[in-house]
Structure 1
Amino acid sequence: MVVPRLVPVGTRACLVEVEDGPAAASLADWARRTGISAEEIVPAATTVLFDGVDLPGLEAALAGWTRGAVSEPGPAVTVPVTYDGPDLAAVAQHWRCTVEDVVRVHTSLELTAVFSGFAPGFSYLSGLPAERAVPRLATPRARVARGSVALADTWCGIYPSASPGGWLVIGSTDAVLWDADRDPPALLAPGTRVRFEEAG
């Protein structure tokens, strides 16, 4: 396990660097459960931001953290996908398998929403094995359609609205990722367990 590295941000905030998204989720969960005093605890891809925190106290507390699973799994959501993305064949080539195998693997995984970013409703989903990591596009697209299901590195995400993007698009869904009138507005809030199924 990579030893967390603390990077002070001013006098009352700190970024704690960890090895990956699941480690960030684990640390954030542990910090909340153990009652570390902070105004905000925000996990990201390889960091956790502690805002409004006593830095020496945080450093001492982190000595007691051991990476593990989150204490209480979040709600489960199943997302139907039409596997028709423009990069589906490229992912199959990168994985050295067939398009059908890509669909089989993607629908066999349980992913977890670790953090949100980029756009309202866009959740970074962790759980793609390291050997399935894929590169981003060399040149991002000027427009990726709303509902596009895409991969980048070991992350999976769904574009909640049309926007530029450089992830490899393998399919599409009609699921509404962000609805300001819904509670919570994000369909895939951090902690949500996500499975994909092939749309009928």
Structure 2
Amino acid sequence: MITVLRYGGSAVLVEVDDVLGFQAACEADPPDGVVELVPAARTLLVQFDPARTDAAAISRSLAEMSLVDRKVTEAGSVVLPVRYDGEDLTDVAKATGCSVEEVVRRHSSGSYVAAFCGFAPGFAYLTGLDPVLHLPRRSTPRTRVPAGAVAIAGEYTAVYPHPSPGGWQLLGHTDVTVWDVERPQPNLLSPGTRVRFEVIR
């Protein structure tokens, strides 16, 4: 089921279950006038050039788009070594009824995909988190979370790319830099990237 909504004068918002799959279809056969695609958890923002098309034409093209035989373009795969020493690890274990070791096992054995980025440059929302670990954000956010912190919130896990305020549950940290403007591709975890966490002691 695809729903297309007006979003200002030069964009439409597509509500769709398979955001990455729909984005891949748009990239493979883009409607005339599309200039940018911005994925989120359940939506895809489609920006267009008003000089070349309009919202009605874009909406018709998107509503008719077929996902049959379309595959999400993978951006590669990344293994992130993690030291599971996060400040919330014990609290997460208590909240889930697991031991600390079981929390680590469940998190590190997951196969994740970067679904979309938000909150801050390089902050990738990774899907594939074990349902047992689906917990809400902390009731009181921290004023500063260090870069490299590995955390969970809701159905997602993520790596904080910069020191920043944050309310996610902290499980550990990685020394891998996930956002670096000096790299040709600053974002290590761009949408579509497959991610695996590896336990280090």
Per the normalisation by structure 2, the TM-score is 0.88
Identify which of 22, 43, 49 aligns with 2:45.
49
Structure 1 partner of 2:151: 150
The answer to whether 1:16 aligns with 2:4 is no
Structure 1 partner of 2:119: 118
Q: Percent identity?
A: 41
1:24-56 Cα offsets, whole Å, 9 max, x none, are: 112111111122231111101121000016433
- Give matches, 1:62-141, under 5 Å: 62-66=63-67, 70-141=71-142
**Structure 2: any 5+ residue segments left out of the alignment?**
none
Q: Take 2:188 and 2:107, find their aligned partners in 1: how far apart are those partners? A: 19
Distance 1:73 1:43, change over 3 A: same
Q: Secondary structure at the match of 1:25?
A: helix
* Count of aligned residue pairs for this structure pair: 195
Q: Take 1:67 and 1:144, find their aligned partners in 2: how far apart are those partners? A: 42
Contact 2:123 2:158 in 1 (8 A): yes
Q: Secondary structure at the match of 2:23?
A: helix
Structure 2 partner of 1:25: 20
**Structure 1: any 5+ residue segments left out of the alignment?**
none
CA RMSD in angstroms, aligned pairs only = 2.0
Q: Bigger radius of gyration, 1 or 2?
A: 2
1:132-186 Cα offsets, whole Å, 9 max, x none, are: 3110111111111111100010111111111100100000111111111112011
The answer to whether 1:191 aligns with 2:192 is yes
Structure 2 partner of 1:59: 59
Q: Secondary structure at the match of 2:107?
A: helix
Q: Take 2:199 and 2:14, find their aligned partners in 1: how far apart are those partners? A: 38
Aligned-pair CA distance for 1:97? 1.4
